[in-house]
Structure 1
């Protein structure tokens, strides 16, 4: 085929142990050649760059993304200049303001940026974060009423607010001005507010729709600096150096799983460099309590820091994350970090229990096998973790998943869903709401949330299965694993890993390189605590490659690895292995194909 994929699949893999077709990630040959010549790259690295849609003239900026080259004009965002004027007016007149933030990492990092900017100008802003259990997501009339009664005249919502029509209407009624800083999709109707900055609002031509709220907030800081400079505020006060807060912008971008392309890629790349100095007291304290170390990367932000910051909003006090990222007091940071670390440990235990119960329910309900989505509901499941459980169920069963926790006393079920490419779950949930099956519901293609009466859950399941049947069938048929390069166990070394780090940071829009090793033998399989499986892979090159399959012991992959047996093909991502200073690598296994079991 023209894209390099044979009809039989890469390495002949038409159906792996996870049911996937393997494909070589397609790349234009001429672009590959020009990347090799122009950038001095090896063929595999040049191919990986081209396969990510990077044209021959864009390679240099992609490999070295800078804010100077990619920073957008703040004025290209609708209402950005207006928002800056309103906030500087409030600063100059000492008008009472409050930051209203979502309870996740993106909300906390957005709020912390604004708090820190105003602090350098001598104004301390309070932060209001709604409680997930009692207040739900986003602004509400009751929350705005409390803020107004506290004396605030202006509220700035971050990572929420663009679709809070009822709350915003109430704010107008009670004389509370609102500036919205958001990034979520919204309807054509623009709520009546003082200013609404959102690259995804209808009519905004900034072209920055992939930004998290933390990225939008960082651009707002640039607009604030420009407006304050114009008014002469920096004649007696030093102008804030915005680069010091790039770590917060990067944290929001990574933890909100945004597309790491264009300006957002530059923001994240440079932000991780700033984060690596660990000058933010909260991030430093959180790293220390988590026993992390080293220069910051996507792993630090997404898997060490992010889950702990989120734990406050999931099962603890919702404002802990924003307070941690905003404080300059090392003692307070240490105290908050310890509390978040303990909450995260509790969160993991709650998540594990719900996940295991969900698997038992799914596996005993025979109608799940042919269903368009994995749909599971039970009494008492904590609404703060069902989204994570839905993500893990989606990975396990390789189709959209919806998890509902039912509160019988309140007669309500709270649900969270995660989808896959080609299946628009948010649209289906909106359709269920339009049909009168939900109390509330919405989202986007890959994720959705909802509220439902328990007695309506069977009807909701039937509706969603019918609604998503065609999309899921097509997506399942096209479900494949894209391979960047074929390597040997001897060639999969630290040098190869280091070379491909030129493409980092990895995330949506820039997938982490996927390597395949063919006809490898499995040696020394070992089941680890937590259901992980560790093995050593060998092939004809004479090399030995350590590999691990996370949470795989009870899956087809885990069972095949533990049985050793004949040669298999393995695909995965290379990770550094610095245990005891060895500077080696290991393969994180994504998929396994057994040539003896493959069928068309």
Structure 2
């Protein structure tokens, strides 16, 4: 893997945001010479790939990520063949199948994928999405038994079930088969199931474990491949066409990005190909969702995380939990437009609720400044937004954060959601806390977790997590540098550069978007737009100038320095370059994440 540079870039050991600047890999300082950029494009993309851990002899496979290049044999995963056999058997026998999904984007897209697959196979499946407030996360035994009583002989849980020991035992006693398709961390003892497909099983094969970064929708896609292969072997397609599984990749892309799954290896190929499918707008519901998000172009990876995903999530967070699955499976354009519009309204409601909870949570930060893991709790907080708020707090503080809505159920227990930082496995810590008797329930993966806690255990939980994770948090924060891929003069910030950098994507967790340093510059203009965004116009000695914006930065040390302390001083600005295509001619702009004095 490419190593980070040992010397500080431009000698910046402490930037305006308090970070040192290091090269992610190599030194791509274009300096004053930005002419002939086209000749550097191939080398620049190669450099970006090397800096993200690609070995030199594997560059071409990663330069254009395809499923052919990254897809494993689904049979390498534990229980995959048994799951495919049982699902194929249900199709052949025309059994009643219910897909039981989670209420977030990964759950909605996973459920929609299997429903659409079965529809392609000539089979109409039912679905069940629990209500976040009334039923909570994961399958409940009562719901599974009720589905069995209503005629379902096979239930497939997606994005949930790996830790549902009691619920699956009840389903087993009721005589219904359950296939679990999940990606959350498992305990040593697995629940009773007809099959449990999860790359994060502790007994997973080496190939399966290597794909532990898959979102549940990615695992569901592998199950779709295995099921079609099983049906092919049984002659099912001798009289009917095989389904086009590539048509399902838009769902895989949306669920993978919105669940913040690491975008390397197979995930990167799934998202890259899924974006191409999404651009065709062949999925009626997805097309309506794109329109409701006011996108007049093909969606990008960031659109999935910041525009499409939040709308699907809004149904499960503050509205009706089934809206996402209904939208992504409908073939009626009128129904799709209506649901997409409803989700947009709910998303605005979610924003207002989220802002109130975030303000209340931030009021508690001062009392926890010595904590390595922030545990913030309050009565009346909406459980539907606590995960988003935890993510915001994590970004603001650089520490893992748990946000807990107290009195969230009839027994007065707290429902919590956590977000972690790279290098700190929060999911494992939550599972250990549950086994330690500190939690009623809990689970998750490295970067995100959920829990249920009794109020009288809250302080003990906070102390226990602080002690367990303080070392990992300290190490992670010590390594918190601004990693740069490229440095250039302002004149080099062009639309062609943006397109070249984007060609090394898609970018996300585990495959970070390129960060560039531009300068030295002087700020021609600096003001506040919106609530707390800092808008800039910068110019350099080469005569080049560009627009830049530092989001949610007005009240930070960085924002204040840009607004008030930079007059007459030279700066390096660092961040990610984007294409501003609002005007008649596209222009490159910089989304500023950090800055440092250049004089």
Could you give the per-residue CA deviations for residues 485-523 of structure 1, whole angstroms, max 9, x where no partner exists?
111111111111111122011112211000012332122
Q: How far apart in 2 are the matches of 1:15 and 1:451?
A: 40
The alignment partner of 2:492 has SS state of coil
After TM superposition, the structure 1 = structure 2 runs for residues 409-558 of structure 1, keeping only pairs within 5 Å, are 410-558=411-559
CA shift for structure 1 position 296? 2.2
Conserved 8 A contact 2:550-2:591: yes
After TM superposition, the structure 1 = structure 2 runs for residues 125-524 of structure 1, keeping only pairs within 5 Å, are 125-201=125-201, 202-204=203-205, 205-206=207-208, 207-363=210-366, 365=367, 368-407=368-407, 410-524=411-525
Q: How far apart in 2 are the matches of 1:401 and 1:186?
A: 22
CA shift for structure 1 position 388? 0.8
The alignment partner of 1:551 has SS state of coil
Could you give the per-residue CA deviations for residues 89-114 of structure 1, whole angstroms, max 9, x where no partner exists?
11121111100111111111111111
Q: Answer with 422-431 or 318-327: which moved more.
A: 422-431
Taking only aligned residues, the RMSD between alpha carbons, in angstroms, comes to: 2.0
Which 5+ residue runs of structure 1 have no aligned equivalent? Answer: 30-38
**Residue aligning to 2:32:** none
Conserved 8 A contact 1:423-1:471: yes
The alignment partner of 1:579 has SS state of coil
Describe the shift of the 1:294–1:451 C-alpha distance in structure 2 as closer, same or farther (beyond 3 A): same
Q: Answer with 372-381 or 163-172: which moved more.
A: 372-381
The alignment partner of 1:83 has SS state of helix
Describe the shift of the 1:238–1:431 C-alpha distance in structure 2 as closer, same or farther (beyond 3 A): closer
CA shift for structure 1 position 4? 6.7
Q: How far apart in 2 are the matches of 1:239 and 1:593?
A: 57
Describe the shift of the 1:41–1:127 C-alpha distance in structure 2 as closer, same or farther (beyond 3 A): same
**Residue aligning to 1:33:** none
Describe the shift of the 1:437–1:182 C-alpha distance in structure 2 as closer, same or farther (beyond 3 A): closer
The alignment partner of 2:444 has SS state of strand
Describe the shift of the 1:184–1:443 C-alpha distance in structure 2 as closer, same or farther (beyond 3 A): closer
Conserved 8 A contact 1:99-1:111: yes
Describe the shift of the 1:308–1:4 C-alpha distance in structure 2 as closer, same or farther (beyond 3 A): closer
CA shift for structure 1 position 249? 1.3
CA shift for structure 1 position 391? 0.8
Q: How far apart in 2 are the matches of 1:219 and 1:459?
A: 41
Q: How far apart in 1 are the matches of 2:265 and 2:423?
A: 24
**Residue aligning to 1:56:** 56
The alignment partner of 1:548 has SS state of strand
Conserved 8 A contact 1:102-1:159: yes
**Residue aligning to 2:110:** 110
**Residue aligning to 2:66:** 66
Q: How far apart in 1 are the matches of 2:414 and 2:194?
A: 35
Could you give the per-residue CA deviations for residues 434-491 of structure 1, whole angstroms, max 9, x where no partner exists?
4433222233332222222223323332333333322222222221110001111111
Conserved 8 A contact 1:11-1:518: no
Q: How far apart in 1 are the matches of 2:238 and 2:204?
A: 36
Q: How far apart in 1 are the matches of 2:100 and 2:77?
A: 21
The alignment partner of 2:483 has SS state of strand
Conserved 8 A contact 2:292-2:340: yes
Q: How far apart in 2 are the matches of 1:375 and 1:163?
A: 23
CA shift for structure 1 position 40? 7.8
Q: How far apart in 1 are the matches of 2:254 and 2:476?
A: 31
Q: How far apart in 1 are the matches of 2:448 and 2:476?
A: 16
**Residue aligning to 1:21:** 20
CA shift for structure 1 position 125? 0.6
Conserved 8 A contact 1:44-1:484: no
CA shift for structure 1 position 535? 0.5
Q: How far apart in 2 are the matches of 1:581 and 1:126?
A: 48
Q: How far apart in 1 are the matches of 2:472 and 2:68?
A: 42
CA shift for structure 1 position 185? 1.8
Describe the shift of the 1:559–1:176 C-alpha distance in structure 2 as closer, same or farther (beyond 3 A): same
Q: How far apart in 2 are the matches of 1:94 and 1:101?
A: 21
Q: How far apart in 2 are the matches of 1:182 and 1:434?
A: 20
Describe the shift of the 1:76–1:289 C-alpha distance in structure 2 as closer, same or farther (beyond 3 A): same
Q: How far apart in 1 are the matches of 2:245 and 2:80?
A: 17
Conserved 8 A contact 1:490-1:541: yes
CA shift for structure 1 position 42? 4.5
**Residue aligning to 2:31:** none
Q: How far apart in 2 are the matches of 1:40 and 1:15?
A: 30
Conserved 8 A contact 1:389-1:403: yes
CA shift for structure 1 position 549? 0.8
Could you give the per-residue CA deviations for residues 523-574 of structure 1, whole angstroms, max 9, x where no partner exists?
2112111211110112212111110111111111111111132222211000
Q: How far apart in 2 are the matches of 1:395 and 1:545?
A: 27
Q: How far apart in 2 are the matches of 1:224 and 1:477?
A: 47
Could you give the per-residue CA deviations for residues 129-185 of structure 1, whole angstroms, max 9, x where no partner exists?
111111111111111122112111110111111221111111110101111112222
The alignment partner of 1:537 has SS state of strand
**Residue aligning to 1:591:** 594
